[in-house]
Structure 1
Amino acid sequence: MGRKGYPAEFRRRVLDLVDAGRPIADIARDLGISDQTVYNWRRQDRVDRGVEPGLSTGERAELAAARKKIRELESELAVHR
């Protein structure tokens, strides 16, 4: 079961507020979300733009899909043993 996510448009608007210079603590409080969530979104946005090192959102999705496929294949292989 996955976590409840926020729509991409909502995240983008939050990051626009951060870019405009509003303090993250104020944004988080006003919107009823964790300030750590906003920091995480900001970091991932920087990674996606190539400003910080790390896995981009696309790379994370690709890695998750590959890991899922590996689990499926391992399960299938275990059945045939």
Structure 2
Amino acid sequence: MPHSYPAEFRCKVLDLVEAGRPVRQIAQDLGISEQEIYVWPCQHLIDTGRLPEPTSEDQTELVVARRRIVELEAELAIHRQVLSLA
């Protein structure tokens, strides 16, 4: 699973890219993958509404919701087992 970096960090990295620093050098200096740096401009466009895709916030909410659904389904299965024993 990719590492999640704070928005401020990503913005500063993108500023370095826009200033002309090579992505490979930035990645080596900061200990992150080049591929992540290449993905961030696209994600920035999505998060600012310039591309019609789910934003980072939407993605985070979706992950939390899916985890909660799994928890609730497990609780429901337990309740069903208890009721079937009664």
Fold conserved between structures, TM > 0.5: yes
1:53 is paired with a residue whose SS is: coil
Match of 1:75 in 2: 74
Match of 1:31 in 2: 30
Q: Could you tell me how far apart the structure 1 residues matched to 2:8 and 2:66 are?
A: 28
Residue 10 (str. 1) matches residue 9 (str. 2): yes
4+ long deviations beyond 4 Å? none
Q: Using structure 1 for the length normalisation, give the TM-score.
A: 0.76
User: 1:8-30: per-residue Cα shift (whole Å, max 9, x none)?
Assistant: 33222101112323332232123
Q: Could you tell me how far apart the structure 2 residues matched to 1:9 and 1:49 are?
A: 14
Letter in 1 for 2:34: D
Q: Could you tell me how far apart the structure 2 residues matched to 1:37 and 1:17 are?
A: 14
Largest Rg, 1 or 2: 2
Letter in 1 for 2:70: R
How many matched pairs? 80
Q: Could you tell me how far apart the structure 1 residues matched to 2:32 and 2:22 are?
A: 14
Letter in 2 for 1:60: Q
Residue 45 (str. 1) matches residue 44 (str. 2): yes
1:66 is paired with a residue whose SS is: helix
Report the Cα offset of residue 59 of structure 1: 0.7
Letter in 2 for 1:24: V
Q: CA RMSD of the aligned region, Å?
A: 2.1
